[in-house]
Amino acid sequence: MKLRAVKGMHDILPDEIGRWHRLEAAFRAMASRHGYEEVRTPICEPTALFVRSIGEATDVVEKEMYSFQRHDDELTLRPEGTAGAARAYLEHTVHARQAVARWYYLGPMFRGERPARGRQRQFHQAGCEIYGDAGPACDAEMIDMLVGFLRELGVGEVDVLINSLGSGDTRARYRDALVAHLSPRRDELSEESRRRLEKNPLRILDSKSPRDQELCADAPTVLDVLADDDRAHFDALRRYLDALGTPYRVDPRLVRGLDYYTRTLFELRGAGGELGAQNALGGGGRYDGMIAELGGPATPAIGFALGLERLLLAMSPDAPVSAPLAYLVPLGDPGAVACLVLAKELRAHGVAAIVDGRGGKLKAMMSRAEQRQATLTVLVGDGELERGVVTVKTMATHAQEELPRALAARVLADRLASTERQH
């Protein structure tokens, strides 16, 4: 039997990891600029946590969870990060110490969906959550931060959709209105939507079937039934986004697949061709009821998650792929000593360096340096040793020069660092 990776779960090999590191570093930098701190929670949680928070009638809980039993515990590989973060927030009574907590996380998530381009069974998310702030200012700031982040990454056109699901009994009232609208035409709905009509009617608005969409076209929207305070929250959000110059479009049919949302809901869709049908780059919203639902004090919350695989597909291809690297090639044994010492000095200056001690023809060594995507190659043979210099080749331009050995580490480290800054 041939052993292969699990279907829908992928290896990320070293030649791709540079883009991941850069994306993750950019996310961390953006999150900390906005006052978020990292949280790391376990990769699996009690199954009941996801059932209670995400909702029994959602696709994620009904069909997609990787659940298993171990030592009498029912466990599930996390399908998303919000539930685990909320559990940790509660378990460590963070609310008692901090009025407002801003957390971020990065890591693998698991959903047993049908694999496709941009849809895996193990995928990676980067997300943020804010606990303890009910005001629409943080909704606006979060959406604006996301839009800015996608721009910074060079993601081309992005559609920003927002909606409000209201709070309290709005969702239930809307649900009733939608069921009342669709029930007389039940037989015309797709099989999936007929099933949803009983269990989770809001999701019918998301249906891909053209006939379902026609039937929903003149359905009431949730914005029609918003209570006054929910409407005021939504209006303020729009005002703030306008003031920030953040582009957005109100989509009163935006519902999203998780049941915990209240009030603000948003999704960012990429228009780039690379993404195909899986064009949701990220999304989120308020979930003001979840912490109380999990047994804690009433605590407003809002968050989002980005899909990193999809972001990598949508990012501009000229985004840098690997960090600057010095490739040191000794020609003969005394050269090896000089290269080992110089590499150590370069690393002490904070830049990456590799010594290729395998020997062989100069041409073969140079092509190995190219394969490794080195920025600079440093050659040290007997001639260089006699003259007290090293030969430096800049790979992008093929320019060659000699530098005094004593200055080489500092000069090369500066040069490599400035290559990094240009990226």
Residues near ligand HAM (CB under 6 A) are 80-82, 111, 113, 118-120, 123, 125, 127, 129, 256-258, 280-285, 287, 303-305, 307, 309-310
Give me the least distance between CB of 89 and ligand HAM, in Å please.
12
Please identify, using beta-carbon distances, which residue of 104 and 327 lies nearer to ligand HAM.
104
Please identify, using beta-carbon distances, which residue of 113 and 420 lies nearer to ligand HAM.
113
Please identify, using beta-carbon distances, which residue of 310 and 393 lies nearer to ligand HAM.
310
Please identify, using beta-carbon distances, which residue of 260 and 327 lies nearer to ligand HAM.
260
Q: Which residue has the tokens 């990226």?
A: 423
CB 280 within 8 A of CB 120: no
> Rounded to the nearest 10 degrees, how much is the dihedral formed by the CA atoms of 74, 76, 81, 86?
0
Please identify, using beta-carbon distances, which residue of 285 and 296 lies nearer to ligand HAM.
285
Give me the least distance between CB of 290 and ligand HAM, in Å please.
9
In 3D space, the residue among 245, 306, 270, 239 whose CA is nearest the CA of residue 31 turns out to be 306
Chain centre to alpha carbon of residue 256: 17
List Cα–Cα distances, 355 to 17, 358, 389, 396, 401, in angstroms: 21, 9, 17, 19, 19
Give me the least distance between CB of 128 and ligand HAM, in Å please.
8
CB 342 within 8 A of CB 408: yes
Give me the least distance between CB of 118 and ligand HAM, in Å please.
6
Give me the least distance between CB of 315 and ligand HAM, in Å please.
13
CB 116 within 8 A of CB 292: no
* Residue 113 structure tokens: 């969906």
Give me the least distance between CB of 185 and ligand HAM, in Å please.
29
Please identify, using beta-carbon distances, which residue of 284 and 330 lies nearer to ligand HAM.
284
Q: Which residue is nearest to ligand HAM (CB)?
A: 307
- DSSP string computed for 145-165: HHHHHHHHTT---EEEEEEE-
